[in-house]
Amino acid sequence: MKSLSHRLTDRSKPLHIHLIGVAGSGMSGLALLLLGMGHKVSGSDRVTTAETDRMQGVGLIFSSPHSADAVKGADIVVFSSAIRPENPAYAAAVSSKIPLLRRAECLAAILHTRKGIIISGTHGKTTTSAMTAHVLREAGLKPSHYVGAEIPILGANAKWSEEGEFMVAEGDESDGTLVLYQPEHSVVLNIEAEHLDFYRDIDHIREVFSTLADHTRGKLVYCAEDPVAHELCIERENAVSYGWEDADYTATDVRDLKGSSAFTVVKNGEMLGDIELGIPGRHNILNALAAIALADSCSAEFSLVARALSTFAGAKRRFETKYLSANYRIIDDYGHHPSELAATLQTARSLKPKRIVVLFQPHRYTRTQALADDFGKVLQAADLVFISDVYPASEKPIEGISGQTLVDAMSRHGVVPSTYLPDLTKAHHAVGNALQPGDLLITLGAGNVHEAGTRIAKDLKVIEEMRALMPPGEIDGKLYEPMSRHTTLLVGGPAQFWMEPRSFYGFAFLVGYCRERGIPVRVVGRGSNLLVRDGGIRGAVIHPSGGAFSDVSIGTRNEITAGAGVRLKKLASMAAAGGIGGFEWMEGIPGNVGGALRMNAGAMGVETFDQVVRVTFLDEDGVIRTREREEIVANYRNVAELRRNFALQAVFKGKADNSANIKQRWEEARGKRKDSQPVMASAGCTFKNPEDVPAGRLIDVLGLKGTSVGRAAVSDVHANFIVNQGGASAKDILLLIESIQQKARAEHGIELETEVKILGEDEAQF
């Protein structure tokens, strides 16, 4: 190792070093260090990323995918733990007898060229490494650093400094390579049962940390609050402790500042001064004490250390704020061990949200299996929990182990609601829809769970801006509202933005807002003639509801004015109560006024526009207009003008009649509908009637009554009704529709056109 360290620092003979798996955070850090030392550095990976693009800008020679040619001419090849012997670049290096080094071996060789500082522990390494590097830099010691994540305040996850004598490095304990380091100083944050896919047990883990302690020449800084670290280090002459009490460095007068922390540092009974830490959480106060003790060992001035900690903003994915408004906060955190989750949830609770909502992605099957009970306990600190499937890293699945394992564990330890979401690509739909004002959402895990939080934050910003631009109460809205809740077929994926205006002005605002930003707009009432595909509806779905849209009033000359959100049944009831006949046909139709106007709905030989006097609508230019009936062309199940314009309100006309006659026609309509239509969930008539034969009779003749796809079936009562027998998907219904159309075409040459409106995507596009 010393020979390699010498070669790495010999500027007269720069090496050609190739890194296999260079896109990973650990390997990219090595690349930056080696480039800073003046070496020729090449690297390969499966894919090109923003990180590989950035490194090429500072000198990396990058190739993708891995290949044998990539290692030609290399003096040394370094590989990450994810690389297998069959990798073509690795195999070529073996074949060409090029020296191969593990990532940790290369890092150890670099570290030995400086006074190395190793930050070790089962959790908290990245934050403490970043904090220590920042503190030493601000204290003027110009350290090199190597940290396992993107650190905005440091500029990069790794940097080589020609001037400073110290180098701060995060020491990975996961594969036992801590034993390779021989640092000047070390920090031991905690030691817990972790990475049990590599270690036998906690004693095996202790052995590795003990070897690191043996190799440490200078100060061994350890957390007195961690029982294993305390036991391992306390008797060593070079040990320096930190903790809440009975330690060399302690924190007193701790204050939570809602997003940051403040405390006073005491060293062996002597007050050093006050610290305001730029990140929240008691666990981060302990991390700061570790950095303070280490900086003190390097003779850094305390006032400069204090100033540095006040500006520390944390590492990427370490309690990182992704979104913050008056109503919501979204945090992302890398935590994937029960202790980490406990600390993160404690910090979240200190921010005093109304609820803590968690989306947790378990990391590795072995960890999920071994620590399921502990996860079940610590997640009780949340108010609502969603658990995705396991992020496997490099592991193969273990039968019976999944995110459901942790949902089951939670149920054994409390009553906090928890849901298993096996498909992480769609998990943000369920989580985003569950959010309420005052919530703090945390995405937790070492995999790609942060992508869900990023999607929610992006869309939440849009929906909050819509609300903020309108007076309170004018509009309401939710993310990812399942359309199955708003269609009589009870199927359909989510609406990206579900918006409910309460006034015509609010409706006009929403349409204008969306059009200006290129957001698609759909207007949906009660969904009685609607089939939404399983992928849902991208853009805004406007649902006129409440306020002016629910108003019904009886005027003179047997006229009734009704908002677009009024149910047809309510309109018929109001007419009957006012002694106005002619609306009885509406009694059993589950739709509302807006939908009936849009498609010229009808039943019992009557159509909506037979009774329309005038319609108020929002036109394509965003102007609210009113047109008389004779100005509007209304065809069978189609009003072209209302494809482009949005109905807001209509005036209908009936005939004066006595209550006995109205009641008789009401009962007749109800009885006819009961005898001729199914009671199961449906969207009414599926197909328009062809010219020569009613669609229902045609489907009956084709012998298709009762046929089904999945849980969707052709009704036995009326063949033009497709019913949801419970649990049907939109795909089931669409396949059944297609099969009916194909048979009608093949056997009778008739093209059946759907009366039900079909919207949305087969797969979610948001």
pLDDT at 80: 83
pLDDT at 621: 78
β pairing state of 144-146 and 166-170: parallel
Question: Closest Cα to residue 477, out of 506, 440, 457, 505?
Answer: 506
The domain 551-668: what is its CATH number? Answer: 3.30.465.10
Looking at the predicted structure, is the pLDDT value of residue 1 above 60? no
Residue 26 is encoded by which pair of tokens? Answer: 């650990």
Evaluate whether 345 touches 177 at the Cβ level (below 8 Å): no
Which amino acid does the sequence have at 583? Answer: F
Query: SS3 for 69-119, per residue?
Result: HHHCCCCEEEECCCCCCCCHHHHHHHHCCCCEEEHHHHHHHHHCCCEEEEE
Mean pLDDT of the chain: 90
CATH architecture of 2-103: 3-Layer(aba) Sandwich (3.40)
Q: Count CB neighbours of 412 within 10 A.
A: 10
Mean pLDDT of 241-270: 91
Question: Closest Cα to residue 259, out of 360, 378, 352, 376?
Answer: 352
| pLDDT digit string, tens, across residues 30-59 | 999 999 999 999 999 988 888 888 889 999
Mean pLDDT of 203-211: 90
**Angle between helical axes of 659-676 and 568-577 (0-180°, round to 10):** 150
**Percent of the chain with pLDDT strictly greater than 70:** 99
**Angle between helical axes of 282-297 and 302-311 (0-180°, round to 10):** 150
Evaluate whether 136 touches 59 at the Cβ level (below 8 Å): no
Residue 406 is encoded by which pair of tokens? Answer: 């942790």
Q: Give catalytic residue positions.
A: 125-126, 170
The tally of CA atoms less than 13 A away on the side-chain side of residue 34 is: 34
Looking at the predicted structure, is the pLDDT value of residue 5 above 80? no
Looking at the predicted structure, is the pLDDT value of residue 619 above 80? yes
How do the domains of the chain map onto residue ranges? 2-103, 114-311, 320-459, 551-668, 678-759
β pairing state of 708-709 and 712-714: antiparallel
Looking at the predicted structure, is the pLDDT value of residue 457 above 80? yes
| pLDDT digit string, tens, across residues 331-348 | 999 888 898 898 889 888
| pLDDT digit string, tens, across residues 669-722 | 777 766 667 888 999 899 999 988 999 999 999 999 999 999 999 999 999 999
Evaluate whether 732 touches 492 at the Cβ level (below 8 Å): no
- Rounded Cα distance, 731 and 353, in Å: 40
Looking at the predicted structure, is the pLDDT value of residue 239 above 70? yes
| pLDDT digit string, tens, across residues 57-83 | 999 999 999 999 999 999 999 998 778
Evaluate whether 579 touches 656 at the Cβ level (below 8 Å): yes
Looking at the predicted structure, is the pLDDT value of residue 322 above 60? yes
- Measured CA distances, 339 to 71, 124, 189, 362 (Å): 41, 10, 12, 14
Q: How many residues does the chain have?
A: 766
Question: Closest Cα to residue 78, out of 147, 13, 28, 130?
Answer: 28
**Percent of the chain with pLDDT strictly greater than 90:** 61
Task: Render the burial of 314-343: b for 16+ CB within 10 Å, e for the rest.
Answer: bbbbbbbebbeeeebbbbbbbbbbbbbbbb
β pairing state of 16-20 and 712-714: unpaired
Residue 112 is encoded by which pair of tokens? Answer: 């030995």
Whether omega before 65 lies within 30 degrees of 0, making that bond cis, reads yes
pTM: 0.77
Evaluate whether 719 touches 699 at the Cβ level (below 8 Å): yes
Question: Closest Cα to residue 397, out of 368, 440, 357?
Answer: 368
Looking at the predicted structure, is the pLDDT value of residue 315 above 70? no
pLDDT at 258: 76
Residue 381 is encoded by which pair of tokens? Answer: 């600190």
Whether omega before 482 lies within 30 degrees of 0, making that bond cis, reads no
**Angle between helical axes of 103-111 and 2-9 (0-180°, round to 10):** 70
Look-up of token digits 């219904």: 733
pLDDT at 24: 83
- Rounded Cα distance, 221 and 766, in Å: 48
- Rounded Cα distance, 410 and 385, in Å: 9
- Rounded Cα distance, 146 and 158, in Å: 4
Question: In this structure, what are the phi and psi dihedrals at residue 354, rounded to the nearest 5 degrees?
Answer: -65, -40
| pLDDT digit string, tens, across residues 475-530 | 889 999 999 999 999 999 999 999 999 999 999 999 999 999 999 999 888 888 89
β pairing state of 166-170 and 115-120: parallel
| pLDDT digit string, tens, across residues 379-389 | 999 999 999 99
Topology annotation, domain 320-459: Protein-Tyrosine Phosphatase; Chain A (3.90.190)
Evaluate whether 391 touches 447 at the Cβ level (below 8 Å): yes
| pLDDT digit string, tens, across residues 51-61 | 888 889 999 99
Question: Closest Cα to residue 498, out of 484, 472, 478?
Answer: 478
* Helix, strand, coil percentages in the chain from 3-state DSSP, rounded to 5: 35, 25, 40
pLDDT at 716: 92
Cross-strand pairs, 18 = 42, 77
Question: In this structure, what are the phi and psi dihedrals at residue 84, rounded to the nearest 5 degrees?
Answer: -100, 160
Looking at the predicted structure, is the pLDDT value of residue 103 above 80? yes
Looking at the predicted structure, is the pLDDT value of residue 596 above 80? yes
Mean pLDDT of 468-476: 87
Looking at the predicted structure, is the pLDDT value of residue 452 above 70? yes
CB neighbour class for 346 (10 Å; exposed up to 12, middle 13-18, buried from 19): middle
Which amino acid does the sequence have at 192? Answer: E
Window from 86-95, 100-109, 596-605 with minimum mean pLDDT? 596-605
Evaluate whether 637 touches 611 at the Cβ level (below 8 Å): no
Q: Which CATH number fits domain 114-311: 2.70.150.10, 3.40.1190.10, 3.20.20.10, 3.30.450.20?
A: 3.40.1190.10
Topology annotation, domain 678-759: 3.90.78
